[in-house]
Chains A and B, each alone.
Chain A
Amino acid sequence: MKKSSGTFGVLKRFGFNFMIIFILVYLLFPFYWAVNSSLKTESQLFMAPATAIPRDPATLEFSPTMQNYSAVLRDGQFLRGLANSSIVATSTTVLALIAGSFAAFALGKLRFRGRRPALYLILAMTMFPQVTVLTGLYAVITALGLSARVSMIFAYMIFTLPFTTWVLTSFFKELPDALMESAQVDGATTFQTFKSILLPLTAPALVTTGLLAFIAAWNEYLFALTFTSIDPTARTVPVAIAYFAGAVARQEPFGEIMAAASLVTVPLVVLVLIFQRRIVTGLPAGAVKG
């Protein structure tokens, strides 16, 4: 931002900060409410009116409880779910990024017959609702005899691969052809150009796409529920959380669900913090002159 001075500058900065705070409140408040609920006991949850911090029903003093968290952490299911989710989501993302960036380079930068049909074929893979493809997918997985975790990794390709391919294709297309041509004149093969010039230049896109795909895989529920039905040790976090409800009779353990949700969201935020440097670093000026 340019430095502005005087009353106008102060107003402008004030407006900008106000906007940032507004955006943050909008995006974070519901999550705050989940954390707030996770610190309440059953009776505190049912207090009317609802309180913005956990309060004692009688004295109205601040009194959070950690019982939901200790219940979640004592449950072996949940921790194992975390491990499973990490394995499945990471493998899915890596596979989808590799296959996706290869395909995207071909689709975005190379000339060949059948380019457009290939683009649409890949998109078509993900245009059915999950419920509809479930039976067919289950048949394929049984026929191949895949384990539950591997099944999930492959099944998640259905929604991650078209996503990574399409996003990266649009980014590769943006890079000027001159870049490739000059590299080729310098004696690099097409694939070398791709690997050592185009790929680094699209790093922000790669990281963003990877993060979004990772989270999509991390949050998937329906496929995970189906494929782990025969192997409960492979359950991912969303499925493990859903089974909280089954473990306790009659009442749904809402506080525990919120505690688990808060616990799983934190590692994701940390992950983004680690990778965000890569998202921040855009192109150095002048790197791609047409």
Chain B
Amino acid sequence: MTSNHDNASSKSKVSSPKVKMSNLAKREERLAFRLLLPALLIIAIIAFYPLAQVFYTSFTDRVFASGQETNFIGFDNYQQLLSVHITTLDPVIDEATGEIMIDPETGQKVYERPLDVLPREPSRYREFNQFSLFGNRYVVGATDPSFIQSVSNTITFTVVSVFLELVLGLAIALVVNSKFRFRGSMRAAMLVPWAVITVVSARMWEWMLAPSRIGMFNALFDWMGVIDSPIAFLASGTYQLPAMIAVDVWKTTPFMALLLLAGLQIMPEDIFEAAEIDGAGKIRQFITITLPLLKPAIVVALIFRTLDALRVFDIFQVMLGQSQYSMASYNYFQLIGNRNMGLASAIGVIIFILIFLFAISYIKMLGVDQE
């Protein structure tokens, strides 16, 4: 080891001029690289090739598990996934009367069929959504409406569940951080949801949310008298996303709570004592001391929760199957179901970019990375 040498120079740091300082800086830089080496080696061995391959494959038409020839197709996969087109839908004119046709059953205006007005080149656009604005009717078409739907599902899921997890996790961390008798057991109990195997937990919730009184929730609501007939939580469009969010919040709040708790633990107690003496109330202490000091922990927890939420797979795959996709479960469907590896890789890259944007905006918004 070079410890003797280091000793000499750290001492000289205190007393001697700048020439030595730059020497010290160099040594610090070398130490940094040595310390980073194991992590970088692991990345180089295990992650570099797979990640590079995903980027490359996303520009090809590679078919999964086949000997078929692969062609470079540029941005075609991205175009296929992301092409969106909005156009007006004109009301249909009744040829006999020359007036706008009204549906006799619903009393609503009849509009053109979306398929007739949406473009067919370079590939056919299908209807994703319709909306009215200033008396006009519009249709949103996409070349891959399922993907656009999966993006909207995933982002809604991520924003709502990560927000709820942050609020609940912070509340739980604060409660557990105060001293009380069963604090130790509470910490262990707290981790149970995170510890239940994800695939199994999805099964468990599927069972609890069963569409008849076999399921815990329907049995409970029926007993309480709040519902007349059982609710199909996982089949009806209204409840699918809220159910996914509820399951995820339950499962991952402990992760958030534990990370924030570690952040609280590391805070020196004397700051709070000083604040107490200065007469600052609990709420003021929380806002002016706890939150700012907790910021770095919050940012890291947010980044890793968001990262997982944007890649959510298990619960969508197990509980909703093919009826409603998350981006990752759509990705899985394209790869395994359609064997469209090029397209699946492009989805992977899009998720990658989304995660990156979220991570950067957390860091910028909370101003953590000062330097």
Q: Which residues of A does B touch, CB under 8 Å?
A: 1, 16, 19-20, 23-24, 26-28, 30-31, 33-34, 37, 45-50, 98-100, 102-103, 105-107, 110-113, 115-116, 118, 121-137, 139-140, 144, 154-155, 157-158, 161, 163, 165-167, 170-171, 173-174, 184-185, 187-192, 201-202, 204-205, 208-209, 211-212, 215, 218-219, 221-222, 237-238, 241-242, 254, 257-258, 260-261, 264-265, 268-269, 272-273, 276-277, 279-280, 282-283, 285-289
Docked complex: B178-214 residues within 8 A CB-CB of A = 178-180, 183-201, 203-205, 207-208, 212-214
Measured between beta carbons, the chain B residues less than 8 angstroms from A124 are 51, 352, 356
Which of B27-35, B67-75, B101-109 participates in binding chain A? B27-35
Near A by CB (< 8 A), chain B positions 289-345 give 293, 296-297, 299-300, 303-304, 307, 311, 313-314, 327-328, 331-332, 335-336, 341, 344-345
Alpha-carbon distance between A282 and B271 when the two chains are bound, in angstroms: 14
**Are the C-beta atoms of A28 and B189 separated by less than 8 Å?**
yes
**B262 contacts chain A at the CB level, 8 A cutoff:** yes
On whether the beta carbons of B197 and A241 are closer than 8 Å, the reply is yes
CB of B54 within 8 A of CB of A132, answer yes
Is A170 a contact of B299 with CB atoms below 8 Å?
A: yes
Q: Is B25 an interface residue (CB 8 A)?
A: yes
B152-193 contacts to A, CB under 8 A, are: 172, 175, 178-180, 183-193
A103 x B38 contact (CB < 8 A): yes
- Give CA–CA (A166, B296) in the complex, Å: 10
17 A-B residue contacts at CB 8 Å?
A23-B172, A30-B201, A49-B219, A49-B223, A98-B38, A103-B38, A106-B33, A128-B349, A129-B331, A137-B50, A139-B50, A167-B304, A170-B368, A185-B10, A209-B262, A219-B198, A279-B187
B64 at the binding interface (Cβ < 8 Å): yes
Min CB distance, A228 to chain B, in Å? 15
| Alpha-carbon distance A265/B223, docked complex (angstroms) | 30
Kindly list chain A residues whose C-beta atoms are within 8 Å of the C-beta of B311: 128-130
B residues less than 8 Å from A45 (CB atoms): 214
Q: Check if A279 sits within 8 Å of B348, measured CB to CB.
A: no
Alpha-carbon distance between A198 and B348 when the two chains are bound, in angstroms: 38
Q: Does B243 contact A (CB under 8 A)?
A: no
Main secondary structure of the interface of A (DSSP, over half): helix
| B268 is an interface residue with CB less than 8 A from chain A | yes
Q: Which residues of B contact A23 (CB under 8 A)?
A: 172, 175, 190
Contact A189 B3, beta carbon cutoff 8 Å: yes
**How far is B331's CA from A283's CA once the two chains are assembled, in angstroms?**
45
Q: Give me 13 other A-B pairs in contact (C-beta within 8 A), A128-B51, A166-B304 excluded.
A: A30-B208, A46-B214, A50-B216, A102-B39, A106-B32, A116-B371, A125-B47, A129-B348, A131-B336, A140-B45, A144-B45, A264-B197, A288-B268
Which residue of chain A has the shortest Cβ distance to B5 in the bound complex?
Answer: A189
